[in-house]
Amino acid sequence: MVISVMLFYTRYFACFFLTVACDSVLKDLSAYIEMVYHSSFVDEEGISKACGCPLLPLKSHIKGPAPVSEQDSTDIVDEAITFFRANVFFRNFDIKSSADKLLIYLTFYINIALKRLEGCRTLAEGTKAIINLGLEDVPVPGESGFPFPGLFALPQSPKEAVLFRNYLKQIREETSGRLLSVAYRPNGTPNKWWLAFAKRNLQLLLRMLLQVLISYALVHYGTLLPSGLGSEISLPVRFQWIV
């Protein structure tokens, strides 16, 4: 009986200290990561621009002004989805190229799309929500509702405004389709490692992190506080894997 009580309180306080440690990681996450992830696309000749945004090629069959990229290559949509769960924790983003501006826009759009997917318990429901999002108007710089005043240049002509609007529509639709493939598992159920970012719910992310850490300790060591645990598990690396 005494041993059972001691084990209970040991696990209780272990969870408490892990919570404190993880909370510290969440507050000072930027200290563990050298920099935000930037786009690998640099300003190159031959890439058309609209409103100062490069019209980068896309691996897409969706109709639009974007050039077609090779299917085995990485495009800006791949980068936006891959970097989203890390970049979303940063308050500041130093723009190093015009492609970074598009990366910022897509990061914002992915966040909107995830919010629409919140509460959609099946892939079919999520697909319907994404389709409805795609039917909404897409504002361009200078119009009401554009999320980043000053990030892109104002269109110099109605033709440029139409070109940029059509490109944003195309890239948003392409991003939505690929996001569904990661936000839902092959069996059509939600992927909590993605949908937790719908509101950037740090408490939920913390619980998920604790779940992984505790499971790791129990599986590999048979206890929550094994000898040398702090030196054998790198918390920042573990957190980056989750994020």
| Three-state secondary structure call for residue 54 | strand
- State pTM to two decimals: 0.70
What's the confidence (pLDDT) of residue 94? 86
- Token pair for 40: 């690998």
- Token pair for 56: 């980068």
Quick one: which of 183, 172, 185 has its CA closest to 60?
172
Q: Delineate the domains of the chain, giving CATH numbers in brackets.
A: 2-31+202-242 (no CATH), 50-195 (1.10.1760.10)
- Written as tens digits, the pLDDT of the chain (243 aa) is 656 555 555 555 555 555 555 555 445 544 444 468 899 998 777 899 999 999 999 998 899 999 999 889 999 999 999 999 888 888 788 899 999 999 999 999 999 999 999 889 999 999 999 999 988 999 999 999 999 888 999 999 999 999 999 999 999 999 999 999 999 999 999 998 898 887 654 444 455 455 545 555 555 555 544 444 333 333 332 323 233
What's the confidence (pLDDT) of residue 157? 97
- Token pair for 179: 């996001």
Place of tokens 């009986």: 1
What is the radius of gyration, based on Cα positions, of the chain? 22
